[in-house]
Amino acid sequence: MVRYALKCLAAGLTLALCSMSLTSPALAQPEVDLALVIAVDISYSMDTDEQALQREGFAQAFRSPLVHDAIRNGLNGRIAVTYMEWAGSGDQQVIIPWTILDNLEGLLAFAEKISSTPLRRAQRTSISSAIDFGAKLFGQSNVKAARQVIDVSGDGPNNQGRSVTEARDEANAKGIIINGLPLMLRQPGYLDIPNLDAYYKECVIGGPGSFMIPVRDRDQFPQAIKTKILLEVANITPPEIVKLQRIQDTPRPGCFAGELQWRERWNN
């Protein structure tokens, strides 16, 4: 009888411990103020100098005391970030997996990983595939985020994969915000469009408070990236003048401009 009682007691304790472990806060997803996918264009239209400048711009952003303060002043005082690179529809790679940033050491280590990763280039430009890939990454973040943002930077229109507007709208329907950093550092080439900022505004960015910051000057590049990251972390929408700078008088671009250029170029 005593042995039976001891067995029951042991079983009860085991059940209680299992119940405690299942509800333990340690297993709960950490809450963050922002889950951010940084999606960086590495297509051949980006020369290696531009790629290096882009990389260093993001690294500098995460070294910035202003960004550190913005993270610390959030409701939870931490964000989760992953850094990916993209080109054509079959080429998306996570360079730095999801990382929770909540202290100086972590931020500086994240910046160093961005700086130290070797550069690479690849064919075609599929913004839609970058958005689709980025949207899936949120399911792997293992955090509970107040906001989910994909930060897309690139120097040309979508020319492969499905429609960029379909990808954007589908991501927006899931509550994902898409911001843009159109790179306009050179005179447009045969697969570029002159009003890339207008294209990003009409066809790429979307969601509550979404915005873009066009980059037209190499010297502006690091500051533009830092400003963009700071605004995203602090959940601030820039004034309308930033979003629409110099694009009011340009004609609206077609959201299939890149695809049409590619077909005309290669006659397919």
C-alpha to C-alpha distances, 127 to 153, 164, 197, 258, nearest whole angstrom = 9, 6, 14, 10
CA-only gyration radius of the chain, Å: 22
Q: How far is CA 85 from CA 24, 50, 151, 176, 246, in A?
A: 36, 14, 11, 19, 28
Q: Determine whether 140 is exposed, middle or buried from the number of CB atoms within 10 Å of its CB (0-12, 13-18, 19+).
A: exposed
Instruction: Using CA atoms of 134, 129, 187, 44 in order, give the dihedral in degrees to the nearest 10.
Output: 100
Give, for all 268 residues of the chain, the pLDDT tens digit: 545 444 544 555 455 444 444 444 446 899 999 999 999 999 988 888 888 888 999 999 999 999 999 999 999 999 999 999 999 999 999 999 999 999 999 999 999 999 999 999 998 899 999 999 999 999 999 999 999 999 999 998 998 999 999 999 999 999 999 999 999 887 655 556 888 999 999 999 999 999 999 998 888 888 899 999 999 999 988 876 444 444 445 566 678 555 555 555 556 5
Query: Can you tell me the distance from the alpha carbon of 159 to that of 127, in angstroms, rounded to the nearest whole number?
Result: 8
User: Which pTM was predicted?
Assistant: 0.83
Cα 232 to Cα 67: distance, rounded to the nearest angstrom: 10
